[in-house]
Each structure stands twice: as structure tokens, then as C-alpha cells.
Structure 1
């Protein structure tokens, strides 16, 4: 089913396609930009997108952005993922930017949001070695001292910290009450004394990091929002995070599907294209149907969020994240199977798509957590 878009959105999609074809349209060019996928963020491409105004698509106009909504943001994410644009720093940047836009002081907003529009990367840090899905269990502490806060503790799985200007840190400032009380968000420049950023080797390349805070001092002005209200602030951004991940994985799934279809149309065995065999044809049909369902779900939830920007669509956003990430993993695995040995070869690129999707059902809230959230919305 053709997507019904406004003229402005159709032009945006066409412009992204044209840009990506020219700037990163081949595997050879992308390999050069990313050291063969080891560094999935190319500042060169990122800066060019900043010049086009795309990085500020969801940033308020008063900070130099376009001030557009969830639908436009999802279109940008989906299309750049489809074309495999090496802008791995954008997702954490826009998640962080949304928190600053809602809760930060005017000075913090100017620093971060105008930087985002200009092509700077931002990161957010919640997870710890003993606090992953259970964010409320974090123990990294920020204690009041000398007119500011001294931070001690370890964070882990912090995406893009090594290329970011600031870390939006979630730390514990008090231990009274429930585990979700006493959490506070801080704006911590990555150059701050006492902060060590150490990369974690992964199958996706240089993406995530351990953070070590040792008597790391930040001034009182580093608090983002209200002290002790960090959990509520985090919860207000769940729509955005889940939709970002859903859109990225829908674009990746579409790419894997199109590459698979192109291959089975050309590859011949037993005297005919393998796509003509019923076993392949039916799998393609099933994937195409599931992709269409995922797209309709994502579009519908994005439109609902645009209609009520302040509402929390816990069920719907979790459904979108669950559906799109699980589908992306399924489509790339199917693509690898249908490409046979070529699916395993780096030359064809399917293995890279698979590597980028398998972790998507873990980060940003695992599929199990998404199912739990959805179940709770039904009183279960």
C-alpha cells in the first residue's frame, strides 16, 4: 500500500534518498566513511546533514530547528536507516535533546540544542553493571559538596559517549523512599575531570562505552530539571525513545527485505530464479505483509503522539518498538538464509544488517520488558 504523505514529507523523503545515494550510496563509500563499519558514525556525513537542517528536525524553532513532530522524525530515521547513512550518533542525540528541551534551563538549552542543530552529538547514561532493565536499581551517586555535586560510580552501555559533547547522566542523589525516588539528571561535559570513557568491543563496532566517575565534580547548574525527579523525567521521554528505535529498525528491515528480493529474483538454481520456488515465494509474501503491518502501526502511533504531544502512549509506543525490532531481526535472519553463503559474506552486506538488528531487541528496553509494559496496560 503506497504511503500517503503531504507534499512536504514526500519532498523530505526524496531529498534524503538523493543525498544518501550521492554521499553514501555504495558499500565501498560507507566502508571508507566508517572504517569498514567499525565506527558507525561519520562526522563528515553528519555535518552535511546539519547544513541541510535535518538534525534539527525535532528541535524547536527558537533554537534553530524545524520544530516538526514525531511523524517527520520517524520518516527521517526510517529513510536514513534504509539507506544505511552512517549517523549512529543521531538517535542518542535526539533522545537527549528532548529531555533538555523539556526540563533544562535556558542556558543548558542554548548550549545543547543549538549544538545539536549545528551537528554536535549528545549521549544519555542510565544503565549500570547491576541496573539494566531495572533502572531504578542504579547506585551511581551524586553527593552535594562545595556548591555542586561529586559523582562516583560506574555506568555501562552508554552509546556514543566517546563522540558526544555531554553525557545526560542519571545518578542517585538520595536513597529515601522507593527506588525510583531520589534520581537526578545531570549535564556532564565529556571533558570533565574524573570522568573516564572506555569503549566496549561489540559486533557493531565502536558504539558503546563504560563510564567511570571518580570524584567527578559538577556545579549545581549541571542539574537538568528538578533534583530527585529524574525518574519522572525519564518516563516522560519513553514515547520518543521507543519510536526512534522502531523507526530505525523498520528502515533497516525494509532494506534487508529489498536486498533479499533483489537477490532471489536474480539467483538461479535448478534452471530458474530461486524466488519462483514456493518455499521462497511464501516467505517473501509473509515478510512483505509483516512489514506493511509494522509501517501502519508506526505511522498510526506517530500520528497519535503528534495529536497529543504531552500524553504518554506506553502501550502503543511499546508495541511499535516490539514489533519493529523483532521484525527487523526476523527479516535479516531470513535474508541471510535465502542468500545462503552470500548472506554470511561481508561483500553482500546482509551480515551487517543482521548485526545491526540483533541488538535492537535488547537496547532501549528489551522485548520482554516491552511485553511486560503492554501487559500491564491491560491490568495484568
Structure 2
């Protein structure tokens, strides 16, 4: 069992109670998500902001809670377990961490205060020819008087259609190695020269294509140092992968609870289907995997809190790999155990399965995570 302090347990209870009150019924969730077509409810997110939760990682000097990774994981786990449609929180927390570490003071105060107030953020890395190999990106930022002109296409950009701003990674220098010459830029919503087009997915409206055409950004839009974009990206991997892991842990727990209720109530051959050995053993295995995942999530969170400036490539990749694979297995098995009802949109099982499957792709595919883990052993 994960050991929490009294304050952390109280916080977990508060988030669980909020979700039960605000998103506890299917009718409530349908209203918040336009019948499941939207993954993020800004209205619900604003309510969480009023409670101080969206700024959980933001230092107190910028209006945030100044909490650590353990508290962040509690928030994300309980929110996803409670069915809260706040799909934008992951990209927002990931992006906010980048601004917090590298932005100038004026930009930091503006952006981080917005996050505390409930603004959503987006980070734009991937391109049509630069996915797992992000360093191969070619979206250009050419220096001009007073700033930069951005030209090129980005893709798979979460939150861009409702984000207050986008953290863009573009190429400012074509010379040298591909990991060099990359720079991060602050792009406010509505900047001229930026077109955002949604990509239809199994999960609804979640990601976007971005098209930059002579999009002018002033020199003050540079986040961090010119040419240091790759190193800045790498500095945020601990936070990014913990965020994804905690969210998928919560989703797996939600799927388990709903499946348990179903197989306890559903009867065939004169008895609850959960009493048959095939399902009983499957649930036992899944419960064990979820508990192992939870222990790993909070172990890595504690290590990251104890070593805030240290990269944890092995642990960060392990926790992302384990949590997303566990969530995927849980939700697919849930559909099988629920039979046709698991396939029907009347229940949440099919939506949770779709949400878990994509988790093994975004944030660095699980094949990439395995490769990173292997390299940390000298392989």
C-alpha cells in the first residue's frame, strides 16, 4: 500500500468527493462533454481552478499551491478515477513546467498566473515527418528585425483549439546535429499566421494540425535560450511521464471498479458471472497489476520530489510504460468481461478502452520507452 500523509489523504478524499458531486452520473458527464465528443470541460476545469488545484505544481510566488509530484499524482489519479472530463490538464501541467523552468520572469508571471486561474496550455512538437524522432522537426523560425517568422506544419497538438497559448518548438538553425538549433517560442492564442485544424479521432476532438504561414513572433516570445530547445524538452521528461502515468492509473482503477460492479450484478447460468473462475482469476490478476502500478507511480513521484533537478530516464520511462500498458490491458479485458454491454455506448467501457489505447502512443510510444530503458542498462 502507498503511504500518504494525513494531508495527502485528505486531499485525495476532497478530489474524490468533488468528482462524485460534479461528474458522478452519466447524465452529468454527457452535459460536460457534449455526449462524449469533447474530452475537456473548461467549465469543470474552472471550478477546479477555484479550489486551487490547477496550479498544484505552480510555486506560491506565482499564486499556485507549491505542491510536489506526489500531490500532482493524487489529483490526476483521483480525477480520472472519478470520471472528470479534464483531458486538457495533462498537456497544461506539462507545458506549465516548461515555462516555469525556462521563461523570463514577466512571461512566467503571466502564463503561470493564467494556469492557476484555469487557463489551458498546449505544447507543439510533432510534425508529419517527426514523431518519435522529434529532433528531426523542420518547422522553421527565421530571424528578422525584431523577432522571428515561423513557417511550417505541426501535428497531433493537444489542447490547441482551446489553449490560451502554445509552447512551440521550431528550428532556428539548420547547421550542426539535428538535436541542436531548436528553440522554444511562446505563441498566444489568435496569433496572426497560425491556423488550427482539428483532427477527427476515435476519442473525439482532442488533437490538431497547426499551420504557420509567416507567423511573426517578437524576440520576447523566445522561451529559454535560442538553440537550447532540445535540452529544455529533456528537462521536463520526469514531469511529463509521471503525469501520463498518474492519469492512466486513475483510468485503470475506474475501469476495474465499473467492471467489478458489472460482473457482481450480471447473472448467467443462475449466478453472478464474477463467481466463475475465468473472470475471478482475471480480476485477481488485474487488481495485482493495478496495485503494482500505483506503487511504481508514487515511488517515482517521491524520487522526483527528492531530486527535483535530476533526470530519471529509466524510472520515468518505466512508469509511463507500466501505467499505460496496465490501463490498456484493464480496459480491453473489461470489454471482454462485459460482453456486448462493454461495446455499447450506454456504458463507459468502450470510451475508457479508446482512451487507454492511445496512451501507449502519445508522450513517447511505449516502444520508445522500452528502448530508453534498455539503453540505461548499457544495451
TM-score (norm 2): 0.99
Distance 1:311 1:21 in 2: 37
- Give the corresponding residue for 1:40: 39
1:171 aligns with 2:170: yes
- Give the corresponding residue for 2:66: 67
What whole-Å deviation, never above 9, does each CA across 1:58-116 have from its counterpart, x for those lacking one?
Answer: 00100000111111101101110111111111111111110010000011101100000
Secondary structure class of the residue paired with 1:201: strand
- Give the corresponding residue for 2:258: 259
1:1-380 aligned within 5 A: 1=1, 3-380=2-379
Distance 2:153 2:129 in 1: 10
Q: Offset of 1:43 from its aligned partner?
A: 1.2
Distance 2:375 2:83 in 1: 35
Unaligned runs of 5+ in 1: none
Instruction: State the superposition RMSD in angstroms.
Output: 0.7
Distance 2:131 2:163 in 1: 21
Secondary structure class of the residue paired with 2:205: coil
Distance 2:299 2:7 in 1: 19
Q: Offset of 1:149 from its aligned partner?
A: 0.1
Q: Offset of 1:190 from its aligned partner?
A: 1.8
Q: Offset of 1:31 from its aligned partner?
A: 0.7
Paired residues, what number?
379
What whole-Å deviation, never above 9, does each CA across 1:4-29 have from its counterpart, x for those lacking one?
Answer: 21111111111111111111111111
Distance 1:20 1:70 in 2: 21
What whole-Å deviation, never above 9, does each CA across 1:228-286 have from its counterpart, x for those lacking one?
Answer: 00000000000111110000000000110111111111111111111111111110110
Secondary structure class of the residue paired with 1:208: strand
Distance 1:236 1:4 in 2: 28
Distance 1:308 1:258 in 2: 34
Secondary structure class of the residue paired with 1:200: strand
What whole-Å deviation, never above 9, does each CA across 1:146-204 have from its counterpart, x for those lacking one?
Answer: 21000000000000000001110000000111100000000011211000000000111
Distance 2:10 2:373 in 1: 35
Distance 2:131 2:176 in 1: 21
Query: Runs of 4 or more off by more than 6 Å in structure 1?
Result: none
